[in-house]
A and B are shown apart, each in its own frame.
Chain A
């Protein structure tokens, strides 16, 4: 795919949904260690709800990319509570703004990833280093932007994203949680990978399959 357009987004949500469903119990297990054990369920349910909505004829015809992301946000607000509901809803609304003027070139995927990250940060008031999903979203955005700026091939941009996401996920292990449910554990959260970071890495991991 050369453009981040409606077809891109529909495919992205479908593949991400399948990935999250496949790794649902892994995410729940991570969350059970430092949270309430429902993160895998929340994420799988939220993305499944997005896919379901995109299947139904609710959208303006033909759906614009920003309309698809707005619909995705609505799905999260309707089906997912806790903190991930509003956080991902805000990510997608921020992404919708980013695509309001029309599709982006696929090479500019970092711009959309950054928009997602900004939406999450604005809603959750967390920063990188707080042991959250932002420790994946921001490094992935930066890696994509840098690779794109360096003139890297599309496949290499995607590799940079996946590597940064994995490293970001693993970086949350030694961190002390200061946001979200794990924050109540303070130093007891050390040694556990943040489930929100793990699900963010899973979402980003489908990009090569979406694009190539």
Chain B
């Protein structure tokens, strides 16, 4: 594949620089740390700050969800690699308005360790920090071991809900509670059709043979549940809905938010092809789609494939999902 590259080692800095230029109405770079992107609306006195962070290469995640009533600051890591503890710490400090900071991030070894150390550093500064760890990727571990599951596109719903709750003036435990409820109510699955390549490495970090698909693939190419022959879009959509909903015992009539995201190199029209079938299948299972999102929301460089996330809603989550928010990646 041909790429737009200068020096591969500079790709993250250049991404952040271009992003901050392009979205300066909503975001700015931290003056203290070139790997921390901060919302133009943060910090706000008396309001809980929302922080996330993760490796680069998932754009618009993570930086793209920085904005108004959404994420207040993002710690930026190298491609597919956790940000430093200092970057998480600087992000926390940048958005502290005296009401505490909620760090809402995904379940990966590096992020877990760096957030833990950043939290310890923030405690010394007298900043109250609590965390929610996203674990919505159904195929990454059995339901009984949900704490081992990785966080994927469900994180977007977690940020949206957490950000809206903070905007309502809620306390840190209330924001944490809402974000935790959001991610608890999320289930996701990824299907990979083609691998991605880290520019510095130069070769794909895994392979998918022509004519095959990997069901349950992770956001960095983590092995899926099984490799199968690639079938029609409708059959793939059916399988995705089945895996996600079989993991989630939802009562008839439950309203859900649905997010279908491309993994980077799948054309957007194919996402709509999938979505057409996905909504029909979800409704056929007795659920009601309250609000759909279709597009490239959480990618993996140029991986070919798509993810499906379903979040079960209640009245509180519906209101928080619809609450006014603006960011480069999501506006409601």
In-complex Cβ contact of A36 among B84, B117, B201 (8 A): B201
B201 close to A37 (CB less than 8 A): yes
Question: Beyond A82-B82, A89-B117, A179-B109, is A36–B198 a contact (Cβ under 8 Å)?
Answer: yes
A85 close to B198 (CB less than 8 A): no
| B192 contacts the other chain (CB 8 A) | no
Question: CB-CB < 8 A to B117: which residues of A?
Answer: 77, 86, 89
CA distance A79 to B34 in the complex (A): 12
Chain A contact residues, majority secondary structure: helix
Most buried by A among B109, B198, B200, B203: B109
Q: What would 18 more interface pairs be, CB under 8 Å, given A37-B198, A37-B200, A82-B77?
A: A32-B203, A36-B198, A36-B201, A37-B201, A41-B9, A77-B85, A81-B81, A81-B82, A81-B85, A82-B110, A83-B110, A86-B117, A87-B113, A89-B117, A123-B113, A179-B109, A184-B221, A185-B223
CA distance A32 to B201 in the complex (A): 6
Question: CB-CB < 8 A to B198: which residues of A?
Answer: 36-37
CA distance A85 to B218 in the complex (A): 23
A36 close to B205 (CB less than 8 A): yes
Closest-by-CB residue of A relative to B117 is A86
Q: Could you pull out 8 A-B pairs where Cβ atoms are within 8 angstroms? A: A28-B200, A38-B200, A41-B200, A77-B117, A81-B82, A86-B110, A179-B109, A184-B218
| A146 contacts the other chain (CB 8 A) | no
In-complex Cβ contact of B223 among A77, A78, A180, A184 (8 A): A184
> Closest 6 CB pairs between A and B?
A37-B201, A86-B113, A184-B222, A81-B84, A78-B86, A77-B85
Closest-by-CB residue of B relative to A74 is B86
B109 close to A180 (CB less than 8 A): yes
Closest-by-CB residue of B relative to A180 is B109
| A129 contacts the other chain (CB 8 A) | no
**Interface flags, A77-109, vs B, CB<8A=1, else 0:** 111111101110100000000000000000000
| A186 contacts the other chain (CB 8 A) | yes
B223 close to A38 (CB less than 8 A): no
Closest-by-CB residue of A relative to B81 is A82
Closest-by-CB residue of B relative to A32 is B201
Closest-by-CB residue of B relative to A188 is B223
- Minimum CB–CB distance from A96 to chain B (whole Å) comes to 15
CA distance A87 to B85 in the complex (A): 11
- Minimum CB–CB distance from A63 to chain B (whole Å) comes to 21
Q: Which residues of B contact A (CB under 8 A)?
A: 9, 77-87, 109-110, 113-114, 116-117, 121, 198, 200-201, 203, 205, 218, 220-223
Question: Beyond A80-B84, A81-B82, A82-B82, is A186–B110 a contact (Cβ under 8 Å)?
Answer: no
| A124 contacts the other chain (CB 8 A) | yes
CA distance A158 to B80 in the complex (A): 38
Question: CB-CB < 8 A to B200: which residues of A?
Answer: 28, 37-38, 41
Question: CB-CB < 8 A to B82: which residues of A?
Answer: 81-83, 85
Most buried by A among B77, B113, B201: B113
Question: CB-CB < 8 A to A186: which residues of B?
Answer: 223
- Minimum CB–CB distance from A148 to chain B (whole Å) comes to 32
- Minimum CB–CB distance from A124 to chain B (whole Å) comes to 7
Question: CB-CB < 8 A to A41: which residues of B?
Answer: 9, 200
**Interface flags, A107-149, vs B, CB<8A=1, else 0:** 0000000000000000110000000000000000000000000
- Minimum CB–CB distance from B78 to chain A (whole Å) comes to 6
**Interface flags, A14-44, vs B, CB<8A=1, else 0:** 0000000000000010001000111001000
Closest-by-CB residue of A relative to B82 is A81
A124 close to B109 (CB less than 8 A): yes
CA distance A81 to B84 in the complex (A): 4
Most buried by B among A86, A180, A186: A86
Question: CB-CB < 8 A to A38: which residues of B?
Answer: 78, 81, 200
Question: Beyond A77-B86, A86-B117, A180-B109, is A36–B80 a contact (Cβ under 8 Å)?
Answer: yes
Question: CB-CB < 8 A to A83: which residues of B?
Answer: 82, 109-110, 113
Question: CB-CB < 8 A to A86: which residues of B?
Answer: 85, 110, 113-114, 116-117
CA distance A123 to B201 in the complex (A): 28
A window 173-190: CB within 8 A of B: 179-181, 184-186
- Minimum CB–CB distance from A195 to chain B (whole Å) comes to 13
CA distance A18 to B123 in the complex (A): 35
A85 close to B223 (CB less than 8 A): no
Most buried by B among A37, A85, A179, A180: A85
